[in-house]
Structure 1
Amino acid sequence: MKFKLLFVDKLNNEQNRYQSLSDILGEQYEIYFASDSQEALNTLKNNDIDVCLIQFDSTSFNSLDLLTKIKRSFPKTIRILLSEDFSEKLSIRTFNLLHQVIKCPIEDKLLKEKLEPLLILKNLIKNDKLISKLNSEDGIPTLPEIYFKLEKELFSPEVSIHKVVNLISKDISLTTKIFQLVNSAYYGIPAKITDFYQAVNILGLNVIKSIVIYTKVFAHLEKKGELKEIIEAIWNHSILVSSISQKIIFYFTGNRDLAEQAYIAGILHDIGKIILINIEPNYIKELKISRNNAFSDDDLEKSFYGVSHTEIGAYALALWGFPRSIVDAALLHHSSTIVNDFSVSNIIQISHKLANIEGIDSVLYDTFISKEALIEYLSLTKTLESLQ
C-alpha cells in the first residue's frame, strides 16, 4: 500500500515542482495537491492521507485553521508545516498543532530524507483506537516552541551558541537537566561545569534538542511525587545507554557523527515508556509486575495494550522527524543483537544489555579492549539467552 502525501499550496504553478518529487520519492509514495483549505479537507475526507504538508502563507488561506480541523477530524494524519520562518510568523498556537516544521526552500532529496522515517508508521501501529489516543491531547505531546527555535538555529548559515544559550537559559527545568548531565560521571570532566555557555558547547546542539524533548515529555509527570523514583530510574538508564553507545561506536569506528547519533538514540530509546505512563494509568503497576515473571516488557505490554513501548517510542520519534537510525534504535532495542554490526540501532541493543551489568561504564575499556572481545562477549550472551 502506497504512502499518501497531500501538499497544500495556494500557488498552482508550484504543483509542477511537487510533481517532480515523484521521480525522487519513488513508487511507494502517492502525491495529492490542494490549493486551498476546502480542497484539502475534501481530499482528506476521500483519501486515507498519511502526511499533510502545508505551505505556510498568512494571506491566502488560514493555515492555522486548517491545521486545527485536520488535528480534530483526521488525527491519524501527520501534520507538517513548510515555512521560510521558524519563529516570527508562527505563534505558540501553531506549534501545538504541528508534528513538524520543515524549513523552506528545501531540496527534493532532503525532503525525501525527512519523509523516509515516517514510512515506518504505516505498519507500526494498526489499532485505530490506539492511534487516536496517541494523537489526542493526552497522547504523544507536540514538540515545544523552544524545539523549533533550536531547529531554526541549526539550519542557520551561522549557528550561534550564544543565541541558543539565551533561548534555553530562561527555562529552569531544562537548564537544570543540562547541568545535571554535563556534570555527571558519564562525561568524566574533572572540574564542575558552572558556566551554561560551556555546558551547551560541550553537549552540542543536537544533544540539547534531544534533552529538550525528554524534559518536556517528562515535565508534567515530574509533578507527581509517586512517579519520581521510576522517572529518575528511566532517565539514569537512558543516559548510561547513551554513554556506552557513544563510547563503543567512537572507540571502534572513530566516527564522531555516528557517536553523536548513538548518544541521542540512547537518551530517547525508552521514550515510549514515558508516553505509556502518560496515557495508561496502570502501566507503572504492570511494569513492576514484569520484573517478576517470564514475560519481557514488550510481551507484557502487548498483552495489555496490543503494542509495546518500543513501538510507541519509534512512532513518536518518527512523528517528530528524527532520522531513521534513531527511530530504528528505539524500535529494535529489545531485539537480538547482530554481533558484528556496529550500526546505531545495533549499538543501542548492545548497550541496553551492557547497561544491566553493575559497574560496566567504569570498566568498559578494560573489559572490551578490542572489537573481537566485545563480539565474543555478545556471542556468549546470545548463546545463554537461547538456553533460557
Structure 2
Amino acid sequence: MAAESALYTILTEKINQEALVLPTLPEVAFKVRQAADDPDVNLHYMSDIIAQDPALSLGLIKVANSVLLGRTVKVESVSQAVTRIGLRQIKGIATAMALEQVFVSKNDVVASYMKKSWEKTVDIASVSISLMGAYLEKNKHTALNLDTLTLGSLIHNIGVLPILTEAEQYPDTFANPTFLQQAITKLSGKIGGEVTRAWGFSDELTELAESWGDLTILPTEIHYLDFIRAGAIYHNIFKNKATQEALLNSYVKKGILPDIDFMDTEGFKARCSDVRSMFI
C-alpha cells in the first residue's frame, strides 16, 4: 500500500540521517540508573529516589513480594523493597517497572496500539521471566541472571515506540493498524537498537532488542534470546509451526525446557500469571 510504503520510507530516511525522534527514558528510571552507578550510593538514598514516583514504588513492592524472590514475609515499604531486591538488581528492575510510562499517546488509534504493544510485551516477558526462574532453580551457577532478563524482555520490542510516535504526527495518513504492523515488523528491531543505545543500555540489552525477531541468529549456547523467544512462541508471535517446534526442541536440548510441553502445564501457567500481575 502507498501509505505503508511512505511510512517505511520516512522511517528509513530518518534512521539513516539519525533524525528519528527516540523516546526518552522515564526520569525516575534515569535517576535510579545514575544513582546505581555511584559506588557510594546507599539503600536509603535509593529508596528516597524511588519513593518520589508512586507507581514505581508500588511496582517494586510487588516485585519484592513476588514469586521471583520466593519470600513468604511481605514487605510494606519502599525501603524494605529496595533492601530485599538489593542495589545490584534495583537498576534493571526499576528501569523495567518504569517502562510503561513511555507507552502513551494522545492519538486514540496510536494510544490503543501502544497499550496493546505494552500488554503483548508484558505477556512475553512474563513467560520469559517465569521460564528463567524455573531454569535458575536447577542451574544456580549459570552466568545468566534474572534482572538482566527481566529488563531485556521488557525492552525487546521497544523499537515500536518511534514508529508509533511517527505515525502519531500524521494521524490521517499513518495511524492505521494495517500498515503500522507492517512497519513494525520491518523496522522495530533496528530502531530498538537505536533506542537502547540512546538510553545508555549495555551491548547485551541492545542485542536483545535488535535480534530477538531475527531467527537467522541462533545462539549455540543458552542465551537470553532463547527465553524471550520462548515467550514469543507461547504467545504465537512466530506463526510458523515448524519454526516453533524446531525452537522448542532446541530449548529442550539446551536444558531450558524439561520437555516440549512444559509451558503448557498448569504450574507454569500459574507462575506466569503471578509474574504478569507485577506489571499489569
Partner Cα distance (1:191, 1:221) in 2: 39
* 1:288-313 C-alpha deviation (Å, 9 max, x unpaired): x9xxxxxxx6xx2268xxx4222211
Partner Cα distance (1:236, 1:184) in 2: 16
Higher helix share: 2
**What stretches of structure 2 of length at least 5 have no aligned partner?**
1-9, 169-173, 238-250, 262-280
Residue 166, structure 1, aligned to residue 45, structure 2: no
Higher strand share: 1
The answer on whether the counterparts of 1:240 and 1:355 sit within 8 Å (CA) in structure 2 is no
CA change 1:253–1:246 in 2 (3 A) is same
**Structural mapping, 1:48-87, within 5 Å:** none
Residue 267 of structure 1 corresponds to which residue in structure 2? 154
Q: Which of these residues, 331, 353, 363, is aligned with residue 210 of structure 2?
A: 331
The answer on whether the counterparts of 1:241 and 1:266 sit within 8 Å (CA) in structure 2 is no
The structure with higher relative contact order (CA 8 Å, sep 6+) is: 2
Partner Cα distance (1:235, 1:313) in 2: 13
What secondary structure, in the 3-state scheme, does the structure 2 residue paired with 1:163 have? helix
Partner Cα distance (2:165, 2:146) in 1: 30
Partner Cα distance (1:284, 1:191) in 2: 48
The answer on whether the counterparts of 1:329 and 1:345 sit within 8 Å (CA) in structure 2 is yes
Give the alignment's Cα RMSD to 1 decimal.
Answer: 4.0
* 1:50-104 C-alpha deviation (Å, 9 max, x unpaired): xxxxxxxxxxxxxxxxxxxxxxxxxxxxxxxxxxxxxxxxxxxxxxxxxxxxxxx
Residue 313 of structure 1 corresponds to which residue in structure 2? 192
Residue 129 of structure 2 corresponds to which residue in structure 1? 243
* 1:109-160 C-alpha deviation (Å, 9 max, x unpaired): xxxxxxxxxxxxxxxx99333456854xxx2123454444323322322331
**Structural mapping, 1:189-268, within 5 Å:** 190=72, 193-203=75-85, 204-211=89-96, 214-218=99-103, 220-221=104-105, 226=112, 229-244=115-130, 246-247=132-133, 250=136, 251-252=138-139, 254-255=141-142, 258-268=145-155
The one-letter code sitting in structure 1 at the alignment partner of 2:77 is D
Partner Cα distance (2:140, 2:69) in 1: 19
What secondary structure, in the 3-state scheme, does the structure 2 residue paired with 1:374 have? coil
Q: Which of these residues, 321, 326, 345, is aligned with residue 225 of structure 2?
A: 345
Partner Cα distance (2:41, 2:166) in 1: 37
CA change 1:319–1:375 in 2 (3 A) is farther
* 1:310-359 C-alpha deviation (Å, 9 max, x unpaired): 221121002222111111111111132737421223433334324559xx
Q: Compute the displacement of 1:284 (Å).
A: 6.3
Residue 112 of structure 1 corresponds to which residue in structure 2? none
Partner Cα distance (1:373, 1:207) in 2: 23
Partner Cα distance (1:302, 1:221) in 2: 17
TM-score, normalised relative to structure 1: 0.47
TM-score, normalised relative to structure 2: 0.62
Residue 286 of structure 1 corresponds to which residue in structure 2? 178
Partner Cα distance (1:189, 1:235) in 2: 26
Q: Compute the displacement of 1:163 (Å).
A: 0.8
CA change 1:192–1:261 in 2 (3 A) is same
**What stretches of structure 1 of length at least 5 have no aligned partner?**
1-124, 290-296, 358-367, 379-388
Partner Cα distance (1:284, 1:199) in 2: 42
Partner Cα distance (1:284, 1:186) in 2: 38
Q: Compute the displacement of 1:201 (Å).
A: 3.6
Partner Cα distance (2:255, 2:142) in 1: 19
Q: Compute the displacement of 1:277 (Å).
A: 2.4
CA change 1:141–1:200 in 2 (3 A) is same
CA change 1:227–1:331 in 2 (3 A) is closer
What secondary structure, in the 3-state scheme, does the structure 2 residue paired with 1:342 have? coil
* 1:142-197 C-alpha deviation (Å, 9 max, x unpaired): 34544443233223223312111101211223324434555566666556543222
The one-letter code sitting in structure 1 at the alignment partner of 2:178 is E
CA change 1:212–1:185 in 2 (3 A) is closer
Residue 374 of structure 1 corresponds to which residue in structure 2? 257
CA change 1:142–1:233 in 2 (3 A) is closer
What secondary structure, in the 3-state scheme, does the structure 2 residue paired with 1:334 have? coil
Partner Cα distance (2:219, 2:39) in 1: 40
The answer on whether the counterparts of 2:189 and 2:210 sit within 8 Å (CA) in structure 1 is yes
CA change 1:223–1:238 in 2 (3 A) is farther
What secondary structure, in the 3-state scheme, does the structure 1 residue paired with 2:200 have? coil
